[in-house]
């Protein structure tokens, strides 16, 4: 990085964006960026790459004035700037196209274009004709086709994105930040977008392109900066690096945690998922003929970059969403479409990805949260009323067994630390005699102690004959814990590894980023038929 | 039966629909604009009550009806800002803020009228009806030519200045919402505040403007109540018109013209109730009519809205299928 910095100072004019030594520490102590450099040349398409949580979005939020760096400086066109708000960033010629569109659905395209900078006639009235003219003018100049008079709610996603790009251009943006622009697009729309971006580049605009899709990066970017764990892994010319090198820089492990575990001796199939398909509300196929089985006594891991269908899969299994096709059974009985209580009665436990929304009720006490799945049981009730002593005793035991750090069981759950909140969730989900545990990102964002505890528990439970499905974006976790492992990419199972012990990051990275895909027969082996 | 109809549907009756609709219409326009900004102001009733009191008192002190109207307008705007301050700056719940405003409007105003009249008139009065004399009533306007047309003339001419203003404001509100940048900003803030703030629109400023506008409208409605509809302020005189306005806004799908028509439906129902009880039908039988109409209106609205949503949904699904094929 020192070289990059020196090189930058030698030819300052060359760079339109210089972010030097950017560090961002959030009030809760998480360092999202540590001494990151980003140098973007005028008129290039510069990729900002990295896995989820690598710090890409934080870095871009600082460039767009949504957040301010803890230390470091930002220089735009040779001028040191203090980007305190998006308005300031816009005035410096920076525009951002957010992943979630910032459009008003009931307004027309033209109205959205001029929102905040409305052309007026006689001082107060909207000059709608002028707005349409402006829209048409920019649309033609940049070859971005939109329909000025259509309401935003009636136009397809691809056009909405064009409106967003045009909105930034109308406001005078010369530097465009695109936050995972292809995430919501179909293949054709993506191809079209790339043509338009290259067209913009030819007219001297600079584009910062956030993505973790290797093929796209190779196709349209000139240079790339890779972030991993909040740190920069350097800047490269796209044509000088191979996909394999990029994947190694992006994916990769810093710490290897070792969990002791015996070799699994899996027996009968518990969870059986066959040919599951799901098309989301934007018409994108998120699950494509997903089939696998989880057996008693094993941990099956699902690895993959987020957004490749893992979340949708869990939603289907716990009836938070409905698949378009496919089946899912637990011990031979259907679980699709059942109320959550019925699913739980069949012995399925879920440690949800979003613990604050689906895992706990923050204003409830620890005890209330611990019994929330079993509050109707005979042991905890006496006639129509709760048996408070029984509840207290059973919760006390859980709090002790799961090392939940709290003043008492009467404390509100939201007052606990993240790790202890997760322990409350885990204590409930692991103690209800499950036959199958679905653990979705079970250790995300929690401290090392709690992480280790939860991992050990998962191994212990699986060895006692419970089937465990582990979904994790944390590569070391999924590789260390799982007995066998599948990789999801683009809604499909891209690979199945029967024994995780022979795996390394490099192989994983290639499958996770879609460079490789195992043949159908090999993947099909995860069905154990 | 025919007798009954001819007794009810007189020229008088149709004239009274406009008179009865006007205060509801003012509040309805306030509700339309504030809802467009994404705020539910259920405190319109309270603002109407407060403005009605101060309007009548100041008209009495100054001896001029227009002073009363202007003060009522100002009080409405100020109370709108007060609600905004609590809801937007101090982050209180907007519904609770509205309820508080309604309590101020009923109990608070009764308290104030006693205190104030005790100071100025020497005795604590529970209403200002004895103070507002005919010369303080908002004047009526006779429109030349129009008033000479048979039937239509006596129905449409001879209303108060504020009655005409209410109907003119329907058009002006529509222009404001759809033809000015302020309206565009209000609509965008109501629909997607993130989008609005991302292009540099001050969301809180727009919300203040919208709630102050609703206060102004409720203020005019209040002035109409205490200085034209009834002579003087008395307790609970607004009688739910602020709430009926919210229903009219919903029935009119939040659009100025549609909401005006909905307000007129309520005006019709009330006029009907008054007329029928005047010709001797038991008032206990008649007084629920406006409220039954409100409920029916909302049911119809909900059904229409649901069908519309379903239709849109299936259209979207079809489009999706088509784009795939």
Architecture of domain A269-347+433-528: 3-Layer(aba) Sandwich (3.40)
Average pLDDT estimate for A81-98 = 91
- Is the Cβ of B321 closer than 8 Å to some Cβ of chain A? no
Calculate the alpha carbon distances from A402 to A94, A349, A397, A405, A436 in Å. 50, 17, 8, 9, 19
Give per-residue pLDDT as tens, A292-303: 999 999 999 999
Residue B291: partners with Cβ closer than 8 Å, 6 or more residues away: none
User: Which of B174, B175, B176, B181 should we substitute to test contact with A (largest number of A Cβ atoms within 10 Å)?
Assistant: B181
Q: Please say if the pLDDT value at position B25 is more than 80.
A: yes
- The residue that leads in pLDDT, B315 or A327, is A327
Q: Do B179 and A283 touch (CB under 8 A)?
A: no
3-state percent helix, strand, coil for chain A, nearest multiple of 5: 35, 25, 35
Give per-residue pLDDT as tens, B299-313: 877 787 777 666 555
Query: Cα separation of B297 and A465, whole Å?
Result: 61
Q: What is the pLDDT of residue B325?
A: 40
Q: What is the pLDDT of residue A93?
A: 93
Q: Please say if the pLDDT value at position A8 is more than 50.
A: no
> Which residues in chain A have Cβ-Cβ distances shorter than 8 Å to B196?
104, 115-116
Q: Do B192 and A105 touch (CB under 8 A)?
A: yes
Q: Do A124 and B184 touch (CB under 8 A)?
A: no
Q: Please say if the pLDDT value at position A52 is more than 80.
A: no
Q: Do B184 and A171 touch (CB under 8 A)?
A: no
Contacting B with CB below 8 Å, chain A residues are: 86-87, 90, 98, 101-107, 111-112, 115-118, 120, 124-126, 156, 167, 171, 283
What are the residues facing A327 on neighbouring strands? A274
Q: Do A116 and B180 touch (CB under 8 A)?
A: no
Average pLDDT estimate for B27-51 = 96
Q: Please say if the pLDDT value at position B105 is more than 90.
A: yes
Q: Do B199 and A105 touch (CB under 8 A)?
A: no
Q: How many CB pairs under 8 A join A and B?
A: 61
Q: Do A126 and B181 touch (CB under 8 A)?
A: yes
Look at strands A325-330 and A333-334 and give their pairing: antiparallel
Q: What is the pLDDT of residue A32?
A: 84
> Where do we find the tokens 């299936």?
B314
DSSP A174-220: SEEEEESTTTT--HHHHHHHHHHHHHHHHTT-EEEEEE--HHHHHHH
- Is the Cβ of B194 closer than 8 Å to some Cβ of chain A? yes
Q: What is the pLDDT of residue B312?
A: 55
Q: How confident is residue B324, by pLDDT bands cut at 50, 70 and 90? A: very low
Phi, psi of A299 (to 5 degrees): -110, 115
- All structural domains of chain A with their residue ranges: 269-347+433-528
CA distance A421 to chain B (A): 28
Average pLDDT estimate for A85-96 = 91
- Is the Cβ of B323 closer than 8 Å to some Cβ of chain A? yes
Radius of gyration of chain B (CA): 21
Q: What is the pLDDT of residue A253?
A: 55
User: Which of A61, A97, A104 should we substitute to test contact with B (largest number of B Cβ atoms within 10 Å)?
Assistant: A104
Q: Please say if the pLDDT value at position A256 is more than 50.
A: no
> Which residues in chain B have Cβ-Cβ distances shorter than 8 Å to A283?
320, 323-324
> Looking at residue B74, which CATH number applies to its domain?
1.10.3470
Shortest CA distance from A110: residue in chain B? B184
Give per-residue pLDDT as tens, B233-284: 999 999 889 999 998 998 888 999 999 999 999 999 989 888 888 888 887 8
Query: Cα separation of A60 and A53, whole Å?
Result: 13
CA distance B322 to chain A (A): 11
Q: Please say if the pLDDT value at position A9 is more than 90.
A: no
Closest CA to A443 of A53, A23, A25, A32: A53
Task: Write out the two tokens for B134.
Answer: 């005919």
Q: Please say if the pLDDT value at position A262 is more than 60.
A: yes
Give per-residue pLDDT as tens, A124-136: 899 999 999 999 9
Q: How confident is residue B76, by pLDDT bands cut at 50, 70 and 90? A: very high
CA distance A283 to chain B (A): 7
Give per-residue pLDDT as tens, B125-171: 889 888 888 889 999 988 888 888 888 888 898 899 999 999 999 99
Residue % of chain B over a pLDDT of 90: 62
- Is the Cβ of B187 closer than 8 Å to some Cβ of chain A? yes
Average pLDDT estimate for A90-94 = 92
Q: Do B195 and A104 touch (CB under 8 A)?
A: yes
> Which residues in chain A have Cβ-Cβ distances shorter than 8 Å to B187?
104, 106-107
Q: Do A103 and B180 touch (CB under 8 A)?
A: no
Query: Cα separation of B207 and B228, whole Å?
Result: 31
Q: What is the pLDDT of residue A255?
A: 45
Q: How confident is residue A229, by pLDDT bands cut at 50, 70 and 90? A: confident
Shortest CA distance from B201: residue in chain A? A116
Q: What is the pLDDT of residue A12?
A: 53
Domain that holds residue B290: 2-324
Instruction: Tell me the ipTM for this assembly.
Output: 0.81
Q: What is the pLDDT of residue A468?
A: 96
Number of independent structural domains in chain B: 1
> Which residues in chain B have Cβ-Cβ distances shorter than 8 Å to A86?
198, 200
Q: Which residues of B267-296 are buried (b: 16+ CB within 10 A; e: fewer)?
A: bbbbbbbbbbbeeeeeeeebeebbbebbee
> Which residues in chain A have Cβ-Cβ distances shorter than 8 Å to B253?
none
Q: In this complex, which of B181, B188, B198 lies closest to A86 when CB atoms are compared? A: B198
Q: Do A283 and B191 touch (CB under 8 A)?
A: no
Q: Please say if the pLDDT value at position A249 is more than 80.
A: yes
- Is the Cβ of B200 closer than 8 Å to some Cβ of chain A? yes
CA distance from start to end of chain B: 62
Average pLDDT estimate for A191-210 = 92
Average pLDDT estimate for B26-47 = 96
What's the burial of B303, exposed, middle or buried (CB within 10 Å: 0-12/13-18/19+)?
Answer: exposed
Q: What is the pLDDT of residue B9?
A: 86
3-class DSSP state for residue A46?
strand
Query: Cα separation of B183 and A168, whole Å?
Result: 22
Reported as type and span, the H/E element at residue A462 is: helix A448-463
Number of C-beta neighbours around residue A344 at 10 A: 18
- The residue that leads in pLDDT, B197 or B300, is B197
Q: Please say if the pLDDT value at position B322 is more than 90.
A: no
């Amino acid at each position: 990085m020192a070289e990059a910095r020196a090189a930058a100072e030698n030819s300052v004019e060359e760079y339109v964006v210089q972010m030097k030594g950017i560090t961002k520490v959030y009030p809760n102590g998480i360092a999202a960026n540590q001494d990151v450099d980003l140098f973007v040349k005028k008129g290039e398409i510069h990729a900002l790459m990295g896995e989820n949580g690598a710090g890409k979005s934080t870095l871009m939020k600082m460039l767009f004035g949504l957040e301010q760096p803890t230390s470091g400086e930002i220089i735009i066109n040779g001028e040191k700037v203090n980007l305190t708000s998006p308005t300031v960033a816009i005035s410096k010629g920076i525009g951002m196209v957010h992943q979630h569109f910032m459009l008003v659905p009931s307004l027309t395209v033209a109205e959205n274009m001029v929102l905040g900078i409305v052309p007026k006639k006689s001082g107060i009235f909207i000059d709608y004709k002028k707005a349409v003219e402006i829209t048409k003018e920019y649309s033609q100049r940049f070859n971005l086709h939109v329909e000025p008079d259509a309401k935003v709610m009636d136009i397809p996603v691809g056009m909405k994105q064009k409106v967003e790009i045009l909105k930034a251009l109308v406001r005078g943006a010369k530097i465009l930040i695109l936050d995972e622009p292809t995430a919501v697009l179909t293949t054709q729309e993506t191809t079209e977008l790339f043509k338009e971006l290259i067209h913009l580049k030819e007219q001297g605009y600079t584009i910062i392109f956030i993505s973790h899709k290797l093929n796209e990066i190779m196709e349209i970017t000139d240079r790339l900066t890779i972030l991993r764990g909040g740190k920069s892994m350097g800047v490269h010319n796209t044509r000088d690096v191979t996909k394999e090198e990029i994947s190694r820089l992006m994916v990769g492990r810093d710490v290897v945690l070792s969990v002791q575990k015996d070799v699994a001796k899996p027996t009968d199939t518990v969870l059986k998922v066959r040919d599951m398909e799901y098309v989301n509300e934007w018409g994108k196929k998120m699950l494509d003929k997903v089939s696998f089985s989880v057996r008693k006594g094993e941990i099956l891991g699902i690895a993959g970059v987020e957004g490749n269908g893992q979340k949708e899969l869990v939603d289907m299994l716990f009836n938070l969403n409905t698949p378009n096709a496919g089946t899912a059974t637990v011990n031979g009985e259907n679980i699709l479409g059942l109320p959550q209580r019925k699913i739980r009665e069949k012995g399925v436990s879920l440690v949800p990805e979003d613990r604050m929304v689906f895992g706990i009720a923050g204003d409830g006490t620890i005890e209330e949260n611990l019994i929330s799945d079993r509050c109707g049981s005979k042991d905890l009730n006496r006639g129509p009323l709760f048996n408070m002593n029984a509840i207290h005793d059973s919760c006390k035991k859980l709090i002790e067994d799961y090392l939940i750090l709290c003043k008492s069981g009467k404390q509100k759950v939201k007052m606990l630390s993240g790790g202890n909140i997760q322990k409350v969730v885990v204590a409930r989900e692991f103690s209800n005699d499950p036959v199958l545990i679905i653990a979705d990102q079970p250790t995300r964002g929690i401290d090392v102690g709690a992480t280790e505890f939860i991992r050990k528990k998962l191994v212990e439970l699986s060895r006692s004959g419970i089937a465990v499905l582990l979904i994790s974006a944390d590569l070391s976790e999924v590789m260390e814990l799982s007995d066998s492992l599948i990789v999801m990419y683009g809604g499909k199972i891209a690979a199945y590894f029967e024994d995780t012990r022979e795996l390394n990051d490099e192989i994983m990275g290639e499958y996770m980023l879609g460079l490789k895909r195992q043949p159908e027969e090999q993947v099909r082996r995860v069905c154990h038929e | 039966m025919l007798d009954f109809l001819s007794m009810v549907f007189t020229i008088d009756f149709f004239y009274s629909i406009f008179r009865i609709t006007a205060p509801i219409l003012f509040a309805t326009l306030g509700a339309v604009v504030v809802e467009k900004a994404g705020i539910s102001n259920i405190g319109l009733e309270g603002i109407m009550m407060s403005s009605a009191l101060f309007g009548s008192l100041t008209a009495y002190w100054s001896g001029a009806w227009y002073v009363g109207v202007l003060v009522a307008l100002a009080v409405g705007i100020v109370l709108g800002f007060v609600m905004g301050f609590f809801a937007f700056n101090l982050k209180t719940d907007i519904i609770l803020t509205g309820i508080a405003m309604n309590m101020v409007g009923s109990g608070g105003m009764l308290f104030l009228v006693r205190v104030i009249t005790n100071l100025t008139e020497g005795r604590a009065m529970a209403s200002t009806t004895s103070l507002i004399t005919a010369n303080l009533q908002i004047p009526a306007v006779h429109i030349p030519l129009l008033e000479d047309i048979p039937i239509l003339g006596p129905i449409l001419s001879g209303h108060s200045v504020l009655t005409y203003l209410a109907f003119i404001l329907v058009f002006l509100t529509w222009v404001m919402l759809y033809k000015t940048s302020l309206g565009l900003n209000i609509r965008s803030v109501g629909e997607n505040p993130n989008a609005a703030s991302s292009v540099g629109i001050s969301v809180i400023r727009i919300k203040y403007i919208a709630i102050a506008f609703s206060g102004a409208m409720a203020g005019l409605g209040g002035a109409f109540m205490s200085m034209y509809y009834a002579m003087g302020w008395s307790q609970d005189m607004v009688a739910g018109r602020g709430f009926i306005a919210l229903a009219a806004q919903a029935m009119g799908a939040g659009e100025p013209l549609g909401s005006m028509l909905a307000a007129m439906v309520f005006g019709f129902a009330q006029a009907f109730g008054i007329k029928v009880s005047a010709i001797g039908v038991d008032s206990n039988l008649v007084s629920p009519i406006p409220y039954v109409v409100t409920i029916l209106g909302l049911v119809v609205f909900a059904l229409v809205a649901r069908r519309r949503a379903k239709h849109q949904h299936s259209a979207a699904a079809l489009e999706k299928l088509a784009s795939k094929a």
